Structure 1
Amino acid sequence: MELLGQRWVLRALWELEPGPLGFLELRRRMGSCSSSVLSERLQQLQNAGVLEKRTDKSYELTVAGMELGTALKHVWGWSERWSADLRSTR
């Protein structure tokens, strides 16, 4: 949970969910995340067993990472439902 709370971690997981990406493409999709921070986050996610670096140097989610992505989609859906409810009561 501590890792998931760090800035840019959830965004990196979100971007990698559809499939593998190389560092430069992932960096482009991450907007204002610096290369050094992205490198650090990717290393932390690798150490946690959530993603791996492939032989072609791209990054992809492991089975554990895909399971985490599924869990996060549920949290996202929950937040969408509750934010819509909050907007409708204002």
Structure 2
Amino acid sequence: MLAAMDLVGQRWILRLLWELEPGPLGFLELRRRVGNCSSSVLSERLQQLQTAWIIEKDANAQYELTPKGVELGVALEPLWNWSERWSKLGK
């Protein structure tokens, strides 16, 4: 459990999972969407997610969630829902 928490706790990991949830994206599109993340850090995070079998590259060199990644997204959904509610408290 701690290894999974260490992985998702790293900067940009949750954002990458969020961006990949709707479907595959290429490196440049991911880079555009995450904004402040450098190319080297983005490459490192994508490699970490691939090593953990959370994402994979498809035939078009786009990154997509694996079944394990989809399952992680389902597990994180309550956190995302909570953050949506929390962010609206100040408005």
Q: Shorter chain as normaliser: what TM range?
A: 0.7 to 0.9
The aligned counterpart of 2:81 is 77
Equivalent residues, number: 87
Which of 14, 21, 24 is the equivalent residue of 1:10? 14
Query: SS in structure 2 opposite 1:2?
Result: helix
The aligned counterpart of 1:32 is 36
> Could you tell me the percent identity over the aligned residues?
69
TM-score (norm 2): 0.86
**Shift, 1:74, TM fit:** 1.2
Q: Which runs of 4+ in 1 moved over 3 A?
A: 84-87
Query: SS in structure 1 opposite 2:53?
Result: coil
The aligned counterpart of 2:67 is 63
**Shift, 1:72, TM fit:** 1.2
Structure number with the higher helix fraction is 2
1:13 and 1:48 mapped to 2: Cα distance?
Answer: 13
1:44 and 1:72 mapped to 2: Cα distance?
Answer: 18
Query: SS in structure 2 opposite 1:60?
Result: strand
For residues 5 and 56 of structure 1, do their structure 2 counterparts lie closer, same or farther at Cα, with a shift above 3 Å needed? Answer: same
Moved more, 68-77 or 47-56: 68-77
Query: SS in structure 1 opposite 2:7?
Result: coil
> What is the one-letter code of the residue matched to 2:82?
W
